Chains A and B, each alone.
Chain A
Amino acid sequence: MANVLKRIYIALIFIFLYAPMLVLIVLSFNKSKSRAKWGGFTFQWYTKLLSDSSIMEALVTTLMLAVLSALISTFIGTIAAIAITSLKKGARTLMMGITNIPMLNAEIVTGISLMLLFIFFNVKFGFTTILLAHITFNIPYVILSVMPRIKQLNPSAYEAAMDLGASPFKAFFKVVFPDILPGVFSGLLMAFTMSIDDFIITHFTKGAGVDTLSTKIYSQVRKGIDPKMYALSSLIFVTVLVLLILINILPGSGKKAKEK
């Protein structure tokens, strides 16, 4: 009995969570432009989407942003994580607090503060400002996914490498880095996902003329209903879902790789 209730409960949660997405995906295949009527199955919105040059442009911008911001924030975040773990206890707690704040902060606050910062320093709004913003909000995610790996390191391994004649630089790349690599990689994926997914911060830090997919959808939907946008949203949803699944199975995959 309790089991049945449990299942119903879980089913309800999933329905509430995923029903809106499901509706969206169903509508993206709807021949009729109406949201209330099913006019038959079609791929036409998807094909139209691919032939819309402004959307394709936004896609390229989104991907460039995601790749660049993920790479740069992974680089900075990994170094930061290493530095933070070697701090003394008090300083470490403080640094972790500072790192966590941007993640807990409302995105709109982060977005507006970044916008004000760019205005203050007279930075021209455009691709660069979005990139800087994305790097900023991605770094904490990288730190958080690299940190546990560093804590698991056997501190003697680094010294053992130097003991065997490796310079500090070599010791790091041959011994420490391979051990934290799974964390670095999942940090990279996480940053990539967050960047693709972001709307609010991008909205406040993009200038006129530059659009990512999410800001594109927003401006189009404001003009009127266009089922192409359903198709686009569905694609983004699926992409992010796949990335998230990847991230979640990855930390374990480090272990599996060892066994083979």
Chain B
Amino acid sequence: MSNKLITLENISKSYDNHLVLDEMNLYIRENEFVTLLGPSGCGKTTTLRIIGGFENPDTGRVVFDGKDITKLPAYKRQLNTVFQKYALFTHMNIAENIAFGLKIKNKSKSYIDDKIKYALKLVNLEGYENRMPDSLSGGQQQRIAIARAIVNEPKVLLLDEPLGALDLKLRQDMQYELIRLKNELGITFIYVTHDQEEALTMSDTIVVMNQGYIQQIGTPEMIYNEPENAFVADFIGDSNIIDSIMIRDELVEILGAKFACVDTGFGENVHVDVVIRPEDIELVSPEEGTISGVVTSLIFKGVHYEMDVMANGYEWLVHSTKMFPVGEKVGIKVDPFNIQIMNKPASEDEEAVQIEE
């Protein structure tokens, strides 16, 4: 429906012979909320800085709205950034901070005043015009940073872990506010985080990255339910990732027991990785289960119980609303739809890249 606004073509970047981004390809559609998600050091900030114009890629092109902007300096790009560390101008008050970009563009005083009012209203901080940045809380400063960016009416807003320094409650409030802002303003958000829950809550599209490679691109549902490889499965939520053998279509042997599944086309007697989410495991009596084992630990987590079950030499992580005490013999059952089969990485090399630690 909407066209590609930003395209990254074969972007590579290294610092002192250390490859940070390797031939990255990515496009971002107009009006999309895209999240770059990955562990610390995987190259998220670097990607964002290349889009923002603060870093030059070694190879490749950045295309914005059909024009090559790879060489365009940051101050000429039609996008604005909200930095990880707020980066408000400490010697200016809130109104002056918000007006900064507009003054540079020589907007009229009345236009600027209107914009300041509008932006402060948008971020729920009306009446803060004359306060100094360091008299504001972290969450308020971050909202001012957002206000300062959006008054310039950018086509794209880049946000680098904008909620990273806030406590949990404030983070959740801000997440909803950001989604509301995005819907009200109708601009494209490129959002960086290493918090998978945040990514799942807010995004239209998630780009999972690791060590400079894109691991998977997809909607939150796709990323969560159908991770393409063990890294994604492991990084997004808790998972049981088990080395298994695909016996034939729709039948997989996990830890010596045969489970029905729905995947086809992997071939016969092929080594695969199986992903089973802890909430998809059903604990039943030992006779009813496909495999049986013993509960080795039990933690109450509020919404559910978290249990470890030792069965056929593997410690299964299980989330269930039913409680089984430690030492109890239980059976494990999994619905065929909830068994996700993934190809093994083709080579050792690839495995090193894809599986962290």
* A interface with B by C-beta (< 8 Å): 154, 156-157, 159-168, 170-171, 174-175, 178-179, 258-259
Contacts and interface: CB of A to CB of B under 8 A. Distances in A.
A166 B75 contact: yes
B104 A164 contact: yes
Residue among A154, A164, A175 with most chain B CB within 10 A: A164
B91 A162 contact: no
Contacts of A171: 75
26 contacts: A156-B87, A157-B87, A157-B90, A159-B54, A159-B74, A160-B81, A160-B89, A161-B100, A162-B73, A162-B74, A162-B75, A163-B74, A163-B75, A164-B80, A164-B100, A164-B101, A164-B152, A165-B75, A165-B101, A165-B152, A166-B100, A171-B75, A174-B89, A174-B100, A258-B90, A258-B134
Nearest to B90: A179
Residue among A156, A157, A163, A165 with most chain B CB within 10 A: A163
Contacts of A170: 104
A163 B89 CA distance: 13
Contacts of A164: 75, 80, 100-101, 104, 148-149, 152
Interface of B: 52, 54, 73-75, 80-81, 83-91, 100-101, 104-105, 132, 134, 145, 148-149, 152
Contacts of A175: 89
A178 B91 contact: yes
A165 B104 contact: yes
Contacts of B81: 159-160, 163
Given A164-B148, A166-B75, A159 B87 contact: yes
Nearest to B99: A164
B134 A154 contact: no
Given A156-B83, A258-B132, A161 B105 contact: no
Nearest to B134: A258
A258 B132 CA distance: 8
Interface of A, helix, strand, loop or mixed by DSSP: helix
A259 B85 contact: no
Residue among B54, B75, B134 with most chain A CB within 10 A: B75
A164 B152 CA distance: 8
Contacts of A179: 90-91
Residue among B54, B73, B104, B134 with most chain A CB within 10 A: B104
B103 to A, nearest CB: 9
Contacts of A178: 91
A171 B75 CA distance: 10
Contacts of B52: 163
Nearest to B160: A156
Contacts of A168: 75
A12 B324 CA distance: 79
Given A156-B85, A174-B100, 19 more contacts: A154-B87, A154-B90, A156-B84, A156-B86, A157-B87, A159-B81, A160-B88, A161-B100, A162-B73, A162-B74, A162-B75, A163-B80, A164-B75, A164-B100, A164-B149, A165-B152, A166-B104, A175-B89, A258-B90
Nearest to B76: A165
Nearest to A163: B81
A165 B100 CA distance: 9
A11 B85 CA distance: 49
B170 to A, nearest CB: 21
A154 B83 CA distance: 11
A170 B73 CA distance: 14
Contacts of A259: 132
Nearest to A170: B104
B110 to A, nearest CB: 20
A170 B89 CA distance: 14
Nearest to B145: A160
Contacts of A159: 54, 74, 81, 83, 87
A167 B132 contact: no
Residue among A165, A168, A175, A259 with most chain B CB within 10 A: A165
A72 to B, nearest CB: 26
Contacts of B134: 258
Nearest to A154: B87
Closest 3 CB pairs of A and B: A164-B101, A156-B87, A160-B87
A167 B75 CA distance: 6
Contacts of B87: 154, 156-157, 159-160
A259 B133 CA distance: 11
A161 B89 contact: yes
A159 B55 CA distance: 11
A174 B75 CA distance: 14
Given A164-B80, A164-B148, A154 B100 contact: no
A156 B145 CA distance: 12
A165 B72 CA distance: 12
A163 B156 CA distance: 12
Nearest to A165: B104
A258 B91 contact: yes
Nearest to A254: B91
A149 B118 CA distance: 35
A165 B73 contact: no
Contacts of B54: 159, 162
A144 B324 CA distance: 67
A166 B134 CA distance: 23
Contacts of B101: 164-165
B79 to A, nearest CB: 8
A195 B152 CA distance: 48
A203 to B, nearest CB: 43
Contacts of A156: 83-87
Contacts of B149: 163-164
Contacts of B91: 178-179, 258
